[in-house]
Amino acid sequence: MFRIDRRAIAAALTLLALAPLQAADDVLPLLPLSLDELIATPVTTASRRAEARTQTPAHIIVITREQMRDRRYKNLADLLEDLPGVDFQRGTRSTQFNHFVFQGNAGNNKLLILLDGVRIDHPAGGKIPVADNFSLHFARQVEILYGPAAALYGADAVAGVINIITDKGGEAGSKFAVGAGSFGSLDGDFLVSGKFGGVGITAGAHDQRSDRAPLDDYYPRDFAKVAARTFGGSIVVPADQREDYKGGISSQSQYLRVDVGERLTLGFYRNRFRSLSSTGDRPASVLYLDSAYWDTTLETWQARYRADLSPTLSSETLVDHSRYQLDPKSRYINIFTDFENHGYDYAYGRRAGIEQNLSWRPNDAHTLQAGLGYRDYRAIETPDLPQPYDTGKSPANQGMNYPNTSLPLQIFEARYRSWSGYLQWQAQWRPDFSTVAGLRHDWYSTYGGSTNPRLGLVWQPRAGNFLKLLYGEAFRAPSPEESYSAFGSFDGGGNPIGTFRAPNPDLRPEKSKTLSLTWDWRPTRTFNLIANAYQTAVENVIITRANATPIQYIPGATLTATDSKQNGGSDRYRGIDLIPQWQSHLGGAWTADFWGSYSYVEGYFREVNDGPRLEQINIARHKLKLGVTLRYQDWLTLTPRLQWIGETTTGAINRAANDRVKKTDAYALASLHVGLHKLADERLSLYVDIYNLFDKRYHAAHTSSSGVVMQAVPQQPRTLMGTLEYRF
């Protein structure tokens, strides 16, 4: 059984005490949006149609352009870190840099990321970096849907959906910004928008780079200069010759939206992120070199055509094409490559699809939505390569051998297809009661079909009170990254080094079921409280596990020590998020917008065949996040933010027995964001951002099956950033 301890209750009561239940109703003429306007802001993500937040059958949070500006959510990572129910661990993993857990669901591939309803994450379902590369400089609002949404969006909408909403082409306004800060940080972005006859065009781009802090100066114990040794114990680089720590990053993105009249929308989005492949590794097992990096590119093209077939029936046709690629020069230089100058890596994913949606509204009380879709996929996965992958040749014609052997190197190419169909019915039975019922079936040529229902109701027992009950199922398709993940090295004598990763094309989808209850309470015009309780069960969980018998997936070699991705058991989570918001007139020209959240979650993992319950990892049971934007008229904003993250599990010495569970310490982290608006000719703004205001030394949780990966990854010291923004 799950138990909520007294600390959880005390923290929740403390949070509620910070927000008075009564406040003057003549407030907020100087705030950009009142609570009335925020709650009435149309959202589309929960039901694929415009409706107020309180009408949706799901728990959904809306972040507006003004909130992103004042709270300084410059990218999706900043926003995620401040969201209720999210454990965000920065700079902890080499292949994805940041890692996050969303209401107990761990991994960057369980939360669907959309741009105006179109997928912009990994086209083949793999893990991607979510960092500075997902800039929000062009966003009008961001909608965060909590809970499964596979009935509407298909695979991978397990934990929820993030939908970045933009203005129509030509309606976004124009601006540019440049910034500089600590540790060689530089960034800039621009957005231009205009109309030419009946065509509206908006285009933008961002560029960011930072050396980041020399963490060996701030955390000398974690980055002590020890000898780099091979698995055999041979010294590769003596301690007194070790290089300094490096951890630089860079990112770029480009955005284009073209609206031709009211019916046709064309769009393009591309982002790139580069970080060192030594991220999160211990000094003894890796070399911190600028030449060993991980560089990913994601891009999506889309075309959308809308038509009214009758006064009650509308149609939307969507065509999209998405591509992911790892730079062929990306590589590791670590203990698994025997510290040799190879270890190049490559991955590629492509998705092309078409979707036809229909919406029928026979009367004011009922809406029926339906859709059919087809997608075609291609993916390439490689083991560690002795030289960069030649993108001009097919996988079968690369002509490489495993280093130190004559064994032909195995490169995997996957081609598959999917078909989908869904139907959703929303009914407003009375002014205070509505329901939603949906069903979707997805069929994949690789492993068959998955059917996912969605049932919900919204009841308004009295003015300002909304109760939402939602049940939904979702599935996560096993990605080629998991099914064909294969790597390992041979030493100078042609002997295997350590444990090899073997492919497993027989993986089954993970299947998730979630029941949630949301209470949206608004006792006054200036105070709102959302409470969201949820329970999730996940079956067929994909984990890394040792193979019991020798495997021969490399022609001419039988490997005795291998592991692979396998369907290894089940997850269970329960939790609650409390989310208050309060707006107040402080006196004179000063107003304030308070917001915050308290989150509690606990869960366990159980292996197949009724194994023992194992404590979940990478999850802090208690999280408290608070912030306030203080505004003086419309030219000064002060936004302090505070996070308190409780102890976070990172695994155990003997996980099978839950023995000696490791945890990172709890920490409190503050930031301060200052905005000076309407400078010069009233178009210029100056922003000063101080992250980790009190220069706290703290560690983010990370766990891995490898003992050479840090369990507690040191985080950045205090950093300062100044930005000038000009609107024209």
Strands 557-559 and 551-554: antiparallel
- Amino acid symbol at 65: R
Q: Which contiguous run of DSSP H or E holds residue 163?
A: strand 160-165
Residues 594-617 have a mean pLDDT of 88
Element spanning 701, H or E: strand 699-701
pLDDT at 495 (0 to 100): 84
pLDDT for residue 558 is more than 70:
yes
CB atoms within 10 A of CB 673: 22
What pLDDT was estimated at residue 29?
Answer: 35
Percentage of residues in the chain having pLDDT higher than 70 = 94
Predicted pLDDT of residue 492: 79
Q: The CATH number of the domain where 268 resides is what?
A: 2.40.170.20
For residues 551-565, give the mean pLDDT: 88
SS (H, E, C) 55-124: HCCCCEEEEEHHHHHHHCCCEHHHHHHCCCCEEEEEEEECCCEEEEEECCEECCCCEEEEECCEECCCCC
What pLDDT score does 8 carry? Answer: 42
The per-residue pLDDT for 39 is 84
CA angle 394, 398, 402 (to 5 degrees): 140
Please name the residue that has the structure tokens 């055509």: 305
Burial label for 233, CB within 10 Å (0-12, 13-18, 19+), is: exposed
Highest mean pLDDT among 228-237, 399-408, 621-630, 695-704: 621-630
- Backbone φ, ψ for residue 130 (5° rounding): -115, 100
Strands 86-93 and 97-102: antiparallel
Cβ-count burial of 583 within 10 angstroms (0-12 exposed, 13-18 middle, 19+ buried)? buried
Q: How far apart are CA 614 and CA 635, in angstroms?
A: 53
Q: How confident is the model at residue 496 (pLDDT cuts 50, 70, 90)?
A: confident
**Per-residue confidence (pLDDT) for residue 344, from 0 to 100:** 93
**For 77, phi and psi rounded to 5 degrees?**
-65, -45
In a domain, 263, yes or no: yes
Domain count, the chain: 1
The H-or-E segment that residue 10 falls in is helix 6-17
**Residue 671 maps to a domain:** yes
Q: Hey, what are 124's tokens?
A: 């083949």
Write down the number of H helices and E strands in the chain.
7, 41
Q: What pLDDT is stored for residue 32 in this prediction?
A: 59
Query: How far, in Å, are 92, 219, 330 from residue 287 at the CA level?
Result: 16, 17, 14
* Mean pLDDT over the full length of the chain: 90
Contacts 24+ apart (CB under 8 A), 504-509: 504/564, 504/565, 504/566, 505/446, 507/447, 507/478, 507/482, 507/483, 507/542, 507/565, 507/566, 507/567, 508/447, 508/478, 508/540, 508/567, 509/155, 509/447, 509/450, 509/475, 509/476, 509/477, 509/478, 509/540
- The pLDDT score that the predictor gives to residue 12 is 41
Residue 714 has pLDDT above 70, yes or no: yes
**pLDDT tens, position by position, 100-132:** 999 999 888 899 999 999 999 999 998 999 999
615: containing domain: 6-727
Q: For the CA atoms of the chain, what is the radius of gyration?
A: 26
Is residue 587 in some structural domain? yes
Does residue 697 register a pLDDT over 60? yes
650: confidence class by pLDDT, cuts 50, 70, 90:
confident
Q: How confident is the model at residue 215 (pLDDT cuts 50, 70, 90)?
A: very high
**pLDDT score for 631:** 95
Position 27 confidence tier, pLDDT thresholds 50, 70, 90? very low
Starting from the edge strand earliest in sequence, which strands make up the sheet with 86-93, in order?
Answer: 86-93, 97-102, 105-106
Question: pLDDT-based confidence at 661, cuts 50/70/90?
Answer: low
143, 379, 436, 645, 667 from 625: Cα distances, Å: 19, 39, 32, 8, 12
Task: Give the DSSP letter string of 220-272.
Answer: TTTT--PPEE-TT--EEE-GGGPPPP---EEEEEEEEEEEETTTEEEEEEEEE
Q: Whole-angstrom Cα distance, residue 46 to residue 117?
A: 11
Distance CA 449, CA 428 (A): 32
User: Quick check: is 1 in a domain?
Assistant: no
Mean pLDDT, range 506-513, rounded to an integer:
95
Q: What is the DSSP letter of 478?
A: P
Tokens 């950093």 correspond to 719
**Contact criterion met (CB below 8 Å) for 315 and 356:** yes
The predicted structure's pLDDT at residue 11: 44
- pLDDT-based confidence at 295, cuts 50/70/90? very high
Average pLDDT over residues 387-398: 94
618 in any annotated domain? yes
Secondary structure (3-state) at 617: coil
Residue range 182-211, pLDDT digits in tens:
999 999 999 999 999 999 999 999 999 999
* pLDDT tens, residue by residue, 298-350: 999 999 999 999 999 999 999 999 999 999 999 999 988 888 878 899 999 99
